Amino acid sequence: MAPHLTIEGLSVGYGRRRIIEALDLPALTGGTVTALIGPNAAGKTTLLRTLAGLVPAKGSIRLDDVELTGLSVNGHARHVTYMPQALPQRVALTVFEATLSALMSARDALPTKEAHERALNALARLGIADLAMRGLDELSGGQRQLASLAQSIVREPTVLLLDEPTSALDIHHQMRVMQLVEELARERAIIVIIVLHDIAQAARYAQRIVVLENGTIAADGAPGAAITPETLARVYKVEARVERCSHGFLQVIVDRAL
């Protein structure tokens, strides 16, 4: 049975500043990709970090019968993997060592051969097996982003949280990553929640779109229902057309700022 993640009455703030207030989100289901979109400071990264157990919160985050808000960071890590947008700059490990370390920290002891195979398979699936023996501090920004994603997927989590995983990638690798994320969600019944700024990319690869505005949900549903000219005008303050291309994918054409 596919897992379900339900959010009820979630409130998050820093000091006296409230970022998210009493947010409810109907169950997100394993096997699907949910994209969080919205303007800057809408609360997307804060929500992702809260789901990862990195930000104190009030309310309920429930994964099937497990209440995640009552777990430690290590307890969260057994169920949830989070890939931040800002990655550590200086890490004295090779890509293979970092991927292997991520695997071993998330699972009980595995036979050495099996652990090595899983780590190498994660790198191969992202097309970066040739970087295995390169140091993380030797990589370009895009290569480091792919290496970080390998560390996330090798853990085989129930919930995978990705914050702008394609921001430093060229078009080819953007499509490769998004296709892989969609495939992994289906194959492993993972709940994938991904923050994206590219609305068309979100519409193409996510089955569900949640539009955030000032820490509240402005729209939630299938891409065609959540991404509309009315929502874009209200949330992004732009006049835009939402049309389907010849292949049936949603395209957003922005005509002017409002």
How many Cα neighbours within 13 Å face the side chain of 157? 27
Q: Distances in Å between the alpha carbon of 42 and those of 8, 58, 73, 177, 234?
A: 18, 18, 25, 25, 13
Domain ranges, ordered by start, for the chain: 1-79+158-228, 87-156
The pLDDT value given to residue 88? 67
156, 77 contact by CB (below 8 A): no
Q: Which residue type is seen at 15?
A: G
pLDDT number for residue 89: 65
Burial of 154 per CB tally in 10 Å (0-12, 13-18, 19+): buried
pLDDT value, residue 3: 96
Tens-place pLDDT, residues 42-93: 999 999 999 999 998 999 999 999 999 988 888 888 899 999 887 666 678 8
Q: What is the pLDDT of residue 91?
A: 73
pLDDT in tens, the chain (258 residues): 899 999 999 999 888 888 999 999 999 999 999 999 999 999 999 999 999 999 989 999 999 999 999 888 888 888 999 998 876 666 788 999 999 999 988 666 788 899 999 999 999 999 999 999 999 989 988 898 999 999 999 998 999 999 999 998 999 999 999 999 999 999 999 999 999 999 999 999 999 999 999 999 999 999 999 999 999 999 999 999 999 999 999 999 999 999
The pLDDT of residue 112 is 87
Cβ neighbours for 23, distance < 8 A, ≥ 6 positions apart: 7, 9, 10, 11, 47, 59, 215, 216, 217
pLDDT at residue number 110: 80
Q: How far apart are the first and last CA of the chain?
A: 46
User: CATH number of the domain at 1-79+158-228, please?
Assistant: 3.40.50.300
Q: What is the model's pLDDT at position 70?
A: 83
**Which one, of 190, 141, 193, 195, lies nearest residue 163 by Cα?**
195
| Beta carbons of 133 and 37 less than 8 angstroms apart | no
